[in-house]
Structure 1
Amino acid sequence: MPDSAAQLPTPLPRPHRLLGLAALLVAFLALALFSYRLSEHYGIAEMREAASHQLDILGAAIDSEVTRHASIPSAVELNADIVALLRGPSEGQDILQAEANSFLQKLNDHLGGPAIFVLDTSGTVVASSDWIFSDNLLGSDLSYMPFFRDAVRGTPARHYAVDHIRHEPGYYFALPIRDEAQEWKVIGVAVVKSGIREVERRWLAQEAPALIVDRNDVVLLASPPEWRYATLRPQARDALDRLGRQQFAGQPLGEISLDIDLDGADEGRIVRLPKHLPKHLRDDVAPAQGARPYLAMSRHLSGTAWRIVVFSDLRPVGVQAATHAALSVAALGCLLLGVLYTRQRRRLARGREEARAMLERANQELERKVEERTADLSEAVAGLQREVQERQRAEQTLRAAQDELVQAAKLAVLGQMATGVTHELSQPLGAIRTLSANAAEFMRRGDQATAERNLAIVEQLTEQMGNIIGPLKTFARKSPAVSSAVDVAQAVDSALFLFESRLKKENVSVTRGIEAGRSIAWCDRNRLQQVLVNLIGNALDAMREEPVRRLSFSVDVASSGMLALAVSDSGYGFSEEALAHLFEPFFTTKQPGEGLGLGLTISRDILRDFGGDLMAGPAPGGGARFVVMLPPLPSLNRGTP
């Protein structure tokens, strides 16, 4: 096969490579960014849907818990004892108050827990369901409460507030009490305080941060509880103090500002919670690393002035988006590697396809005929059988043609060496003719000793001629390839012997760095000799016009264990184009009429038949260098443990 360097693609110029790498990097970054944004978009959409569902559940729970007592003030308004108590001072005021307290207590016990009380028009509690407790609301002045101011003006009201007696937060429902006898004049206010302890219990169970915010942007309930009475944004201290006195029984408001804007949070808004999160929400992240992004979703609670807000941590979305981006980049990289691998396979297969083009066309023609004539399964099977037979005959024909080409190449080499061989044989033949005539004359004279000496010399000359003709006969013999143990040094010597006269005539120095008996290969001796003769002949042709003619041989053991026989010359070497097409059939660098371009192709095929190979490249110092890869002698212990 050709040298591996000849099969590599021609490298692009360095500026083009840099531009290609830059474009590839931009493509990777663009894909990563697109994948990240797309995954982030869908992740936020899923998180928004989950948060909306959570808001629906929490909103329904809070609404059912807080507003289930909203109709109680209507029942209080209709009670005659309450109306009589509020109509004005009378002699039986204490009795009326006791009866009103008793009614409110029974109503409270029946409804299970809310505080019910009645205020006169000055804002003083004149009747209460908790009258039996020491910390009851009787006599308390609640005129500062917003719900009282709204109700006493004739408007039903509802507010979150903290009473100043027990300092318990609650949701107040206030309804004006009108006197039919006084032309429906407002004579008092009926109030129900709905406890929010159950709401607090459910609220604190939330894993993610969540808030309930009133109309003043004050946090009424929060998970974490440290944010209760915080404000969404910084507000004036005077306004917060006034609101704290009126509605929160003096509780300090706004000591913590979350500094977030919930405009547009009904559809989802990305906010950053402050650095001073409680530890269980920070996951031990240092505050210096900045605030974390959250998806804020808000929902107005029907029947109240509250907004419920839940926060969803966006870190899992970011991690998932980064993972998807990395997977997209990896997929693109695998795709590009697959494309490069496919292109490389096609490039390597192109040479083999060209060599098999004629056979492939015949096969395609046969397959086309088989497809046209195939009518059923039996015909398809028959067609396949015919195709197999055709391929076998074609392969046999190809092998026979290859053997004929090998034999023809041998005979061509023998023809080239005919002149040298004729010269080598002409001298011994002349000597034999002379000595034979002399021997006959000496025998005629009776000089037997001299005649015997002449005949002995004739015998030596005849053996010398046999030594010359023997390798030629062995080299020219047409025989099948049979692997055996072959001494590489002897094979080189036999090949050099065939060119002995030409080497002397052309003044070629030969360096044979191979010791006899040290390098034994497992191959066909005759065909290895044919390959060496072809390589030596090519080397001599390449050095014909060179001032220095040097031919060298060396043997090394490759990392794979094979023997690497190197044949180097000092000829004109190869161009890059010639090296790329060196082993293609009918490619030659010789002048027209001097070669068919089949020698190297045949030589490589010969070596591959018995497990070897042939590679080519430039020789150190100039010229060409061919490396013959030969399989080593099989181990006698192979197969034993």
Structure 2
Amino acid sequence: MLLAGVAAYHFSARVGLAALRADTRHDLDLLATAVDGSVTRYEHLPSAVALSSEVLRLLRAGKDEFEPLQPAANHYLEQLNGFFGGLAIFVLDVDGTVVASSDWIYSDNLLGQNQKLRSYFQAAVRGAPDRYYAIDETRNEAGYFFAHPIRDEGQDWRIVGVAVVKISLSELERRWMPRDEPMLLADANGVVIVASVPEWKYTVLRPLSGEVAAEISAARRFADQAIRPFPVTLDATGSGVAALVSFPEAPTLVGGRRLKARDFVVETRQLSGTGWQLVTFADLRARRADALTDAALGAAATGCVLLLGLFLHQRRRTLKSRAEAQALLQKANAELEQKVSLRTADLTAANERLRAEVAERERAEQTLRAAQDELVQAAKLAVLGQLATGITHELTQPLGALRTLGGNAIEFMRRGDQATAQGNLQIMATLVDRMGEIIDPLKTYARKSPARPASVDVAHALRNALFLLDQKLRRAGVDVDNRCEPGRALAWCDQNRLEQVLVNLIGNAVDAMGESPVRRLRLEAEAGGPGRLLVRVIDSGPGLSADALAHIFEPFFTTKPVGVGLGLGLAISQDIVRDFGGELSAANHTDGGAVFTLDLPAAGENHA
């Protein structure tokens, strides 16, 4: 009975610890997502400040123009900060001096302060956006800073200042106060910046290197706060092994609530968006009490089994062999019926789970398909937005001619010259047809419709794509060599989706040839294997590096400068081509430049 109790205790303790860790990890994942989202939602706000005309005019102004322009910039930052609910938004010049701030109305504002020693300023003024946790000595107020360089388009995009957004982490502390178990949040250096136990704030989970300690001291990052070691040693690496810690005394939470427990299970999560560590401490007392209860039950059950065994042994000695055989037969029959019933129940439950999984997969596939269609339509509308200037130019001349010819026709009709008026009206009809030819490809391209495979003339799809990109090709000075003849290459796909893929590939080729002395775009189509058609887009740009070739079709991977592209065009194009039963590949051409190949199913009898 003692051995059974010990075994039951250890087994129950292991099971309870595993369940406790699973519950803690689940809560930690939810909390990590909430913390990461509530902080990183401000990271794009400094770039919006950098686009403000009031801020740019202030940074461009000389000494005589500075004071008249400063109030407008201050009011803009005040309105923006009031909308997003941060602590402050301010702008620094290249010397690190605050020239505009949202808190200008307060007496302890940031205007005129110099923050050139802050690492976020030093990084941003070199052109790299940065984020930083520190204590503002002016108000003795902790905050998280987002910094972004401000570039002046009128000065060849030279950096003329730095936009900074400061947010408060007090909301995170308020969320943790009602919890009955300790939690903390540490920065990338291991310094605790938010904690449900006040004593833990500004302690360090691991020893700081000399370089990091010197940087914190020189920049007075935590003002006069002393950085102390954490009360216990933590394995805060997130290795997946259960880490148990015991504090010298029970921690006291915010509000003076002292816990009864000193032993905890530690779980850690890395926040991908900020580089911080989120650490939770789960109380072990309830699990240990359950383990002791299970040990007592195990010992008692073992004693009952032993007593029952002795009773049955004595009974078997007194029963006759026939009665014993009958009892054994009844027992075997009952066990068999129980196993059959349990097995039937297990199979029924497994069948129900399988049906539920199949239904869930079907719903997920429908949701994924709808999201993909929306993403494809958004990409088409983004291309149409880029083409708006060129289409406006194409329509301006016919509209002006229509106005002139219409006025002339009215004058000739008034004079009785019907023949000349009729000629003007015929010219107007011709111009209207020309405008329809310009607008019709745009309407077809912008239409949101499900993919319906059909026989598509690749030459016609290429012609529409080149028409949509005509203004971009002219401005870039690209020589187009279209070797695809009408009626020679027929593919089995959706024409609207194929045109979108071609527009994306041709647009990328034009961007890749921006710095090339020779800008030549070659388009060709030829038969591949049986029932296949190969369409190639070849440019004379610098080609693709080995790293780019390895990741070219991954979402959000792009070789373009920051802010120019999202890295979704090729990923969307590859999904579209695969829906046709084709494949999109990239390589470097033997004559230089890059070549993108569309391997499409050819239209034929099998698709009739």
Q: What is the TM-score with the length of structure 1 in the denominator?
A: 0.47
Q: Which has the larger radius of gyration?
A: 1
Q: What is the TM-score with the length of structure 2 in the denominator?
A: 0.49
